[in-house]
C-alpha cells in the first residue's frame, strides 16, 4: 500500500497502517469505534477556535467543491482546489505551523464567480474580504512584542479584551495556597459584557454545546464497551465534565485516566493543549484513539520502571528534583484515529496530563506513536531524494543515521514524553502560569534537553534500549542538523520562528553552538557554497545540554519569567536571512514537502442479522474526499 497519497503547496498527505487492529477483541474494537467517532465530532470546535470566520469559509468552499459544474480542469479552478486543500489541512485560514494567513492563488473575481454559482452572491463581498485581505485576521496567534498579543490574535478565545485585562482577571482568581490548582481558563472564552470580564464555558448547554452533545452520545456508548472499570470511570467523569464544564471534574478525570493502565485501547479527548493561545491558558480541542504495541512497549516500560533513577541522576539542582517520581506510565502505541487539533497533523509522542500537581502526585501517561513514525519513514523511502543526503556533512554521518536514525529518534521521543515532561518540580507558591507566553517553548525545551542528556547515558545500553555506546551520537548530529538547518525550510521568507517545538529546537541548537564555539564543539563548515554544521566533540555537547537543562529547569521551578523571556528571545526567534535563503533553496531543489499530515482509516461496522459482529479498517486514498465526507458526517456547528 502506497503511503504518500497527495502533495500540494508545502504539504504531503500520507496514510498509516494499524498493525494491531486484528488482534483486538470485538469489545475493544467497539470501544475504539465510538471513541473515534467522538474524536471526529470535535472537528468543528477546533476550526472555530482557530478563527471565528473559519467555519463560514469552509462551508462555502465545501459547497463549491460539491456543486460546481464548470471546467474543473481550468488552472484557476485547480488553484482554488489547492487553496481548499490547504484550508482543510490547517483547519482554517492560517498555516498550521507558521500561523500566518495564506491566500488563494486564483483571482478574487474568479473566486467570486464560484461563490455566485454556488448561491453565495449576497455575501461574496464581505467573505472575500475575509479570505483575501492581509489585514483581516493576519495571524492565528500573535507573538510580536509590539502591540497586544491578545487583541492582535485571530484565535477565537477572546473577544473585546486586552492582554492586560485578561492577565489581571486571572491573577484575581488564583490562590497561591491551593495545592491542587485547576487550570484556570482552560475551557472558556473570555469576553467583556457591560464593562465586565466574563467567561463563556465550553460545555453542554454552553458554547460549543451542539458539538459537545454529539460527542457525549458517543462517549456514553463507549463507556459500555470500556476495557476496565477504571476506563469506564474515566469516560463517565469526562461525560460529567463536558456536561458541567467544572475544571475540578476535569482534574478528577485526569487522575483516574492517568491511573488506568490496563486497557490496550486508550484515548485523548477534550480541551487539552494551550499552544494556540498567545497567553498559554486556553486549550484547543483534540481527540485521539490508539492501541498498544506490546512488543515495542517493552522499551518504554523499562524507562518507566527506572524513572526514579533518571530523576535522581539529572544534572539539575537537587531543589528542583522530585524526591519521589510517581506513576510514569509509558507505552509505544499505534494511532487509530486523529481528531481536532491532531488531524490531519499529529505529534509523534504525547505526555499527559499537563497539570503539575497531578504529575507530581499521580504521575502521567506517555506514548510514542510508532505507526506515525513508520509512515513518515516509508513516505521518505518512496521519494528518490532525501534531506539527509543534502544536509548531513559527510557519508559517515549519513551511514550512521541510516543505521541508527529511526531507533534513536524513537528513543529520544520516549525520553522526551515518558520522562522529560514529568521531570522536575515547581517550587511552592509558583503559579502554573508564571512563564506566560514562554511556557510552552520552555516546557518543550526541558523535555527535549532531558532526552538529549540521557540518550547518551550508558544506562540505556545497560537497560538494553540502545544497542551500543555509539548510537547516541547519531541523535546529537541529527538534532543539531535539524535545529540549525533543516527546519528553516519550513519558515516563509522574512518570518521569524513562531511554533513552539521549532523555537525550542532552534533555541537549544543555537545556544549550544554559541557556548561551544571556544572549544569548537559544533563547527560551521562551508563546502561547494553550502553550509553544514558538524559536531566535533559529542561529550562536550552532552555537557552543554546538561548545563542548559539545569537552567531551563531552574527557570521553570522558580517561575523566572524574565530569564525565560531572555533565553527564548535571544536564541529561539530570529533567523539568519542569508542562511535561511540558502536552506530554502536547497530544500526546494529536492522537490520535497516540509510538512506532513494524514488521512484516517475508515472504521466500518460489519453487521450480521442486525448485530455488529466486527469492525474492519479500510484504508483511505483520497485526502480531499475524506475532508468533504467529514464535512457532511461530522458537521456540528
- Please check whether residue 439 is in contact with residue 446, taking contact to mean a CB–CB distance below 8 angstroms: no
426-438 per-position pLDDT tens digit: 999 898 889 988 9
The three grid cell numbers given for residue 517, joined into one nine-digit string: 564555539
- Distance separating alpha carbons of residues 92 and 63, to the nearest angstrom: 16
β-bridge pairing 11-15 and 595-599: parallel
pLDDT per residue as tens digits for the range 595-636: 999 999 999 999 999 999 999 999 999 999 999 999 999 999
Q: Distance between CA 497 and CA 488 in Å, rounded?
A: 8
Question: Which residues sit opposite 465 in a β-bridge?
Answer: none
Name the β-bridge partners of 608.
Answer: 611
Element (DSSP H or E) covering residue 272: strand 265-273
Q: Which of 336, 264, 297, 296 is nearest to 18 (CA)?
A: 336
**Is the distance from CB of 437 to CB of 573 less than 8 angstroms?**
no
Residue 327 pLDDT: 64
Which pLDDT value is given to residue 386? 87
Phi and psi dihedrals of 337, rounded to 5? Answer: -145, 135
3-state percent breakdown (helix, strand, coil) of the chain, nearest 5: 50, 15, 35
User: What phi and psi, each to the nearest 5 degrees, are found at residue 87?
Assistant: -60, -50
Share of the chain above pLDDT 70, in %: 100
Q: What angle do CA 540, 546, 552 make, to 5 degrees?
A: 140
Sign of CA dihedral 611, 617, 619, 620: positive
Identify whether the C-beta of residue 386 lies closer than 8 Å to the C-beta of residue 380. Answer: yes
Q: SS3 of 308, please? A: helix
Alpha-carbon Rg for the chain in angstroms: 24
Q: What is the 8-class DSSP label of residue 245?
A: -
Say how many residues make up the chain.
Answer: 637
- Is residue 522 helix, strand or coil? strand
Which regions in the chain score pLDDT beneath 70? Answer: 327
DSSP code at position 331: E
* Residue position matching grid coordinates 465586565: 196
Amino acid at each position: 500500500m502506497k503511503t504518500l497519497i497527495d502533495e500540494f503547496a508545502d504539504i504531503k498527505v500520507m496514510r498509516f497502517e494499524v498493525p494491531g487492529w486484528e488482534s483486538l477483541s470485538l469489545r475493544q474494537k467497539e470501544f475504539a469505534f465510538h471513541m473515534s467517532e467522538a474524536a471526529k465530532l470535535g472537528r468543528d470546535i477546533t476550526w472555530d477556535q482557530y478563527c471565528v470566520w473559519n467555519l463560514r469559509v469552509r462551508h462555502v468552499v465545501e459547497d463549491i467543491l460539491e456543486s460546481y459544474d464548470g471546467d474543473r480542469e481550468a488552472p484557476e479552478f485547480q488553484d482554488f482546489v489547492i487553496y481548499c486543500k490547504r484550508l482543510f489541512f490547517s483547519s482554517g485560514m492560517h498555516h498550521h505551523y507558521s500561523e500566518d494567513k495564506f491566500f488563494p492563488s486564483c483571482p478574487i473575481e474568479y473566486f467570486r464567480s464560484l461563490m455566485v454559482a454556488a448561491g453565495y452572491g449576497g455575501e461574496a463581498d464581505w467573505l472575500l474580504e475575509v479570505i483575501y485581505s492581509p489585514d483581516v485576521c493576519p495571524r492565528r496567534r500573535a507573538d510580536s512584542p509590539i502591540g497586544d498579543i491578545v487583541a492582535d490574535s485571530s484565535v477565537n478565545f477572546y473577544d473585546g479584551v486586552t492582554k492586560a485585562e485578561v492577565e489581571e482577571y486571572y491573577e484575581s482568581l488564583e490562590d497561591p495556597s491551593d495545592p491542587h490548582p485547576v487550570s484556570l481558563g482552560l475551557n472558556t472564552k473570555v469576553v467583556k459584557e457591560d464593562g465586565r470580564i466574563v467567561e463563556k464555558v465550553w460545555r453542554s448547554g454552553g458554547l460549543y454545546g451542539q458539538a459537545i452533545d454529539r460527542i457525549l452520545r458517543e462517549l456514553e456508548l463507549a463507556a459500555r464497551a470500556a476495557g476496565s472499570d477504571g476506563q469506564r470511570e474515566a469516560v463517565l467523569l469526562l461525560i460529567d465534565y463536558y456536561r458541567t464544564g467544572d475544571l475540578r471534574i476535569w482534574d478528577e478525570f485526569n487522575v483516574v485516566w492517568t491511573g488506568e493502565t490496563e486497557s490496550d485501547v486508550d484515548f485523548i479527548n477534550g480541551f487539552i493543549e494551550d499552544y494556540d493561545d498567545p497567553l498559554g491558558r486556553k486549550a484547543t480541542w483534540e481527540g485521539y484513539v490508539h492501541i498498544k504495541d506490546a512488543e515495542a512497549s517493552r522499551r518504554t516500560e523499562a524507562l518507566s520502571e527506572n524513572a526514579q533513577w533518571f530523576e535522581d541522576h539529572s544534572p539539575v539542582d537537587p531543589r528542583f528534583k522530585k524526591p519521589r517520581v510517581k506513576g510514569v506510565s509509558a507505552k509505544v502505541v499505534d494511532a487509530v484515529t486523529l481528531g481536532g487539533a491532531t488531524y490531519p497533523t499529529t505529534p509523534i509522542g504525547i505526555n499527559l496530563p499537563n497539570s503539575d500537581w497531578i504529575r507530581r502526585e499521580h504521575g502521567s501517561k506517555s506514548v510514542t506513536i510508532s505507526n506515525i513514525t513508520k509512515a513518515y519513514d516509508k513516505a521518505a523511502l518512496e521519494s528518490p531524494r532525501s534531506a539527509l543526503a543534502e544536509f548531513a556533512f559527510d557519508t559517515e554521518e549519513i551511514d550512521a543515521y541510516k543505521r541508527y536514525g529511526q531507533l534513536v529518534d524513537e528513543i529520544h521521543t520516549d525520553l522526551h514524553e515518558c520522562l522529560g515532561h514529568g521531570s522536575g518540580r515547581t517550587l511552592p507558591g509558583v503559579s502554573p502560569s508564571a512563564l506566560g507566553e514562554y511556557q510552552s517553548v520552555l516546557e518543550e525545551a526541558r523535555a527535549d534537553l532531558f532526552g538529549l542528556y540521557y540518550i547518551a547515558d550508558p544506562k540505556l545500553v545497560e537497560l538494553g534500549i540502545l544497542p551500543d555506546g555509539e548510537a547516541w551520537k547519531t541523535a546529537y548530529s541529527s538534532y543539531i542538523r535539524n535545529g540549525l538547518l533543516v527546519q528553516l525550510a519550513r519558515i516563509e521568507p522574512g518570518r521569524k520562528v513562531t511554533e513552539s517545538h521549532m523555537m525550542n529546537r532552534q533555541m537549544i541548537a543555537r545556544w549550544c553552538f554559541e557556548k561551544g564555539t571556544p572549544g569548537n564543539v559544533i563547527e560551521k563548515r562551508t563546502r561547494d557554497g553550502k553550509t553544514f554544521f558538524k559536531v566535533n566533540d559529542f561529550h562536550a555537547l552532552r555537557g552543554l545540554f546538561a548545563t542548559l537543562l539545569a537552567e531551563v529547569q531552574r527557570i521553570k521551578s522558580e517561575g523566572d519569567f524574565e530569564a525565560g523571556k531572555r533565553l527564548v528571545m535571544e536564541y529561539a526567534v530570529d533567523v539568519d536571512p542569508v542562511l535561511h535563503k540558502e536552506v530554502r533553496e536547497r530544500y526546494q531543489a529536492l522537490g520535497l514537502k516540509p510538512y506532513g499530515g494524514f488521512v484516517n482509516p475508515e472504521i466500518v461496522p460489519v453487521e450480521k442479522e442486525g448485530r455488529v459482529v466486527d469492525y474492519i479498517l479500510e484504508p483511505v486514498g483520497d485526502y480531499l474526499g475524506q475532508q468533504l465526507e467529514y464535512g457532511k458526517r461530522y458537521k456540528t456547528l
